[in-house]
Amino acid sequence: MSWAAHQFEAYALQAHLPKRWKGKISFLAIVVGDQIPDFIAKFWVYGFEFNGKRYGSSVPHEWHRGWPGAGFTHAIFFGLVVAGLFWLLTKNRAWSRGILLGMAAHAIVDINDSVGAMIAFPFTTENFSIGTWAYAATVDGGKYLDGAAYYSSYGFVMDSIWLAIVLLSWRVLTADYWRTVIVPADPRVWAWFGRRVPERVCIAIYRATFFYGLTRMIAWTSYAHVLNDYAWDLSWGGPYWMPQVQLSDLHPAVVLGTAVLMGSLVYLLVDGIIRRTDPKPSVDSEVGVG
Amino acid sequence: MIYLLAGITYIVAGLAWKGLLNWIVGPLWIVAWVWFVPLLWDRVRGRRAARDHAEVGR
């Protein structure tokens, strides 16, 4: 699984939306969509203790990404279902598109660990993985071993790359960007916040996911290599000290090809919907909040 | 500056008690800092200014 990458990718996506999409995708919806797969699937992965008894999955990777299990949450199709339901209930296009983009980004990025994601569900229950690092959620190790393994492997590099993408697009984090791009795409939600809190707090809400990603990345890397002495292993599939778990053995070319195909389908779908339903140029005017 | 302080305190607190390192507390931490710390700071400065003013008046 990916850690801070799931926080950074929302800003990276936002910063690199095609020009005609700007102002037509809710950023908060991208963040929410990015959290939905693990929000549904992950609570049972680590489990919890109550009255001295552990409740949770006995085989975390099968529950998290497999079928039967919650692996369907990491599928593009599931993103379509959730976004479609959201649209039926609210008729909010910007949010529906954002949820689809966030969920698709999450699923596609998760092909990097050794278990991978069922991105082509329900057409196949095969897991698509390129095995860049070892999936490390285990019953005994829980969140601690998972974090230590991730931040000792190429997972750390993956988070760093996403962080670099966001920092290279640093304007996406500015108050001006929030006022001119983020708010117009989602005026009702931001106006709701704006009636209750000062503008500086609205901007902090907007930046909060980035803040969380950056601080958790530093904290877990420090936990693994300052407070503890887990060995770094920047080799494919590492760290070597983590047993490799897999759910399938597809050729990397097939995995990457399918991921590109799925990503392209999502792009074409969102672009087609925007062209059909919102043909006007994107909104550049400020929407007052606060 | 406030983001830096919020970040340092969150990392230190999170390392001391890793239960804080989750997707609910993390975003709330920065929002709470940006929301409440300036208010507290203004209140402390206001009290100090009022006290100084009273002392000068004596």
ipTM confidence: 0.89
CB < 8 Å to A198, chain B: 35
- The secondary structure of residue A280, as a DSSP letter, is S
Structure tokens at A121: 């569900």
pLDDT at A281 over 70: no
Of A35, A201, A219, the CB nearest to B14: A219
> What's residue A155's pLDDT?
98
Phi/psi at A49 (5° precision): -105, 140
Nearest to A119 by CA among A67, A160, A183: A67
What's the CA gap between A163 and B47, in Å, rounded? 42
> What's residue A282's pLDDT?
54
A199 exposure class (CB count in 10 Å sphere: 0-12, 13-18, 19+): middle
For an interface test with A, the pick among B31, B36, B41 (most A C-beta atoms closer than 10 Å) comes out as B31
Nearest to A207 by CA among A166, A239, A243, A237: A166
What is the band of A240 on the pLDDT scale with cuts at 50, 70, 90? very high
Does the global pTM surpass 0.90?
yes
**A239-252 average pLDDT score:** 95
| Cβ–Cβ contact A90 with B under 8 A | no
> What's residue A287's pLDDT?
44
What is the band of A284 on the pLDDT scale with cuts at 50, 70, 90? very low
- The secondary structure of residue A240, as a DSSP letter, is T
Q: What is the pLDDT of residues A82-136, one digit of tens each?
A: 999 999 999 999 999 999 999 999 999 999 999 999 999 999 999 999 999 999 9
Q: Which residues pair with A128 in a beta bridge?
A: A117
pLDDT at A43 over 90: no
| Cβ–Cβ contact B37 with A under 8 A | no
A283 exposure class (CB count in 10 Å sphere: 0-12, 13-18, 19+): middle
Can you spell out the DSSP letters for A14-29?
A: HHT--GGGTTSS-HHH
**A165-192 average pLDDT score:** 97
- The secondary structure of residue A223, as a DSSP letter, is I
What is the band of A249 on the pLDDT scale with cuts at 50, 70, 90? very high
- Collapsing DSSP states into helix, strand and coil, what is residue A54? strand
- How far from chain centre, in Å, is Cα A255? 19
Mean per-residue pLDDT over chain A, rounded: 94
> What's residue A286's pLDDT?
43
CB < 8 Å to A205, chain B: 27, 31
> What's residue A13's pLDDT?
97
- Collapsing DSSP states into helix, strand and coil, what is residue A55? strand
